[in-house]
Homo-oligomer: A and B are copies of this chain.
Amino acid sequence: MKPFIVIAEDEAAVSELLRYNLEAEGYEAAIAHDGEEAMLLINERVPDLILLDWMLPKVSGIEICRRVRARQTTANLPIIMLTARTEETDRIRGLQTGADDYVSKPFSNNELMARVQAVLRRIRPALVEDIITVGDIMIDRATHSISRAGTDIHLGPTEFRLLEFLAQHPDRVYSREQLLDGVWGSDVYVELRTVDVHIGRLRRALMINGRDNPIRTVRQAGYSLRKN
């Protein structure tokens, strides 16, 4: 399951950008525009991480931090404080109040993502799902192994990532463009047709000892991994 992150940030531009980036990295994110909303969100569903603006309307960030820490169920919930202030004293105060980390605005997306990952790793080592199963296909990311109906299957790096990607949303059809973006990365340029070739290779690997083809071709649209 995707880690769930609450963004408590008043400024719409910042919070939307954050959400966009977090979701692109595979997190689920919800936005609260003030302190009250944030507490509601947190009560409703305990997040895996809070990105918390220091200055927040209604209930201040620092107060939220206190309340979160005071409660049993959320006492260890990781918090990253966002703040415009850069002075050492504020940093110390933030950390004293119980924030796990601290990023001052303006921050680079890279930096923030790195911190988010670091904090999640530290607090709860393996939030990313280690094992995904789709039908009789099993993907174990920790051991980097794939099996189908119990038989181990060897895949090259690209096919591995491709399967991993398709498996995140079984039955969902991905266009070649989306696959290139998600598997190869948006910065490299390769022919669209290359996707077909890799799909073919993946198919051949998965159709081991006479099993059926688990990848569906949707003409004019793309490919999807069958759920059943």
> Which residues of A, 87-107, contact B by the 8 Å Cβ criterion?
91-92, 95-96, 101
A177 to B157, CA, bound (A): 18
B residues in contact with A157, CB < 8 Å:
219-221
Could you give, for residues 143-165 of chain A, a 1 whenever the CB lies within 8 Å of some chain B CB and a 0 otherwise?
Answer: 11101011000001100000000
Which of B45, B122, B144 is within 8 Å of A221, CB to CB? B144
B residues in contact with A74, CB < 8 Å:
none
- Closest approach, in angstroms, between the C-beta of A46 and any C-beta of chain B? 6
| Contact status of A92 and B1, CB under 8 A, knowing A122-B125, A125-B122, A150-B110 | yes
| A115: interface (CB < 8 Å) | yes
Which of B96, B115, B142, B147 is within 8 Å of A172, CB to CB? B142
| A224: interface (CB < 8 Å) | yes
- Closest approach, in angstroms, between the C-beta of A217 and any C-beta of chain B? 11
The contact size tier of chain A is 35 or more
Q: Are A131 and B143 in contact (CB under 8 A)?
A: no
Q: How many copies does the complex hold?
A: 2
Q: Are B221 and A143 in contact (CB under 8 A)?
A: no
Could you give, for residues 109-126 of chain A, a 1 whenever the CB lies within 8 Å of some chain B CB and a 0 otherwise?
Answer: 011001100100110011
A122 to chain B: closest residue by CB: B126
Interface 9-mer from A10-18, A52-60, A132-140, A195-203 = A132-140
| A23: interface (CB < 8 Å) | no
Q: Are B144 and A118 in contact (CB under 8 A)?
A: no
Which of B111, B144, B147, B156 is within 8 Å of A224, CB to CB? B144
> Which residues of A, 157-208, contact B by the 8 Å Cβ criterion?
157, 169, 171-173
A17 to B184, CA, bound (A): 38
| A84: interface (CB < 8 Å) | no
| Contact status of A144 and B173, CB under 8 A, knowing A157-B220, A219-B156 | yes
B residues in contact with A111, CB < 8 Å:
131, 133, 138
| A209: interface (CB < 8 Å) | no
Q: Are B136 and A108 in contact (CB under 8 A)?
A: yes
A101 to B157, CA, bound (A): 26
Q: Are B140 and A108 in contact (CB under 8 A)?
A: no
B residues in contact with A133, CB < 8 Å:
111
| A130: interface (CB < 8 Å) | yes
